[in-house]
Copies of this chain bind each other. A is one copy, B any other.
């Protein structure tokens, strides 16, 4: 696990990730994947270090994944949940972060309802000249880099289990389907898939596409250099696709009148066995979870290991988060 190509101190966004960094994560995660298949799934790498999960927005899945990743690296973990915190006592978010810094936290894993909070905390840590690392675990509708990296790892590991690397995706057709407008996962995915040289096709009802893309809002548009395509309908995105990523549909969207009904949404954009006929024969389906069965994806397809990578994504999540904690944590000199 050499990390000669890793000089990054925080992981906040994939916007400026370079190939060598993607590959460092993929290769480190691959070696941890091997650790996870052993009987004793622990390594002493981060012994004595403290990973604080500062989740200002509730989460079980991502928080548990980071917690188990940290424990398998032998780090001590602290869980902070906004509900029971001093936040209600009027303390600012930066002050909360600085309190955890002063207690000796080495890595802060931060989720917040508002975009930019992990960035703001990272900037403050740098301004203070301290060595603590910040890892964005989802900020508003901005980014969710560890999710996109585990998606990438899941796909690349399928293509070459021994040597997952980003170039394996070059020329592959990947469809991202669903509520792209509100999805921090999609935003991070777009960065990594474009960087990989894949052809990325986004399919969503016009009400669920980012305003950023408004000028491109005509169907079948190639936005970026034969790499990024927009569709108002599912079919052209699925045509010959190698991978289909469905996104979680937040039911709150309905109340905002962005969608007619879950049933109609499923008919138009839900992934089913029948619709997969349009894709490449070996097509695989991904979903960041939690899934609304029968909405974004049909229930039987979700459970079919021939097509679904959903469970594999969760497992990859632990390996990828171990890799990120390792790359951020072990780089520290004392």
Contacts and interface: CB of A to CB of B under 8 A. Distances in A.
Interface residues of A, number: 57
A3 interface: no
A70 to B, nearest CB: 10
Interface stretch (A115-123, A139-147, A312-320): A312-320
A262 to B, nearest CB: 10
Interface in A287-326: 289-293, 311-315, 317-318
Interface in A64-114: 64-65, 67-68, 71-72, 76, 78, 80-81, 83-86, 89-92, 95-96, 98-104
A52 B65 CA distance: 12
A101 to B, nearest CB: 8
Contacts of A103: 64-65, 68, 314-315, 317-318
Given A76-B71, A86-B60, A90-B251, A40 B36 contact: no
Nearest to A314: B102
A263 B174 CA distance: 57
Given A86-B289, A86-B290, A102-B315, 17 more contacts: A38-B48, A40-B47, A41-B49, A52-B64, A58-B84, A60-B80, A60-B85, A61-B86, A64-B103, A72-B76, A91-B291, A95-B291, A95-B293, A96-B290, A98-B311, A102-B312, A103-B314
Interface in A145-180: none
A39 interface: yes
Interface of A: 36, 38-42, 47-50, 52, 58-61, 64-65, 67-68, 71-72, 76, 78, 80-81, 83-86, 89-92, 95-96, 98-104, 248, 251, 289-293, 311-315, 317-318, 334
Task: Tell me which of A48, A58, A78 has the highest count of chain B C-beta atoms within 10 A of its own C-beta.
Answer: A48
Given A39-B334, A48-B39, A84-B60, A91 B289 contact: yes
A291 B91 CA distance: 6
20 contacts: A40-B47, A40-B48, A41-B104, A60-B80, A60-B96, A61-B86, A64-B100, A86-B290, A89-B290, A91-B289, A91-B291, A95-B291, A96-B290, A102-B311, A102-B312, A102-B313, A102-B315, A103-B315, A104-B315, A104-B318
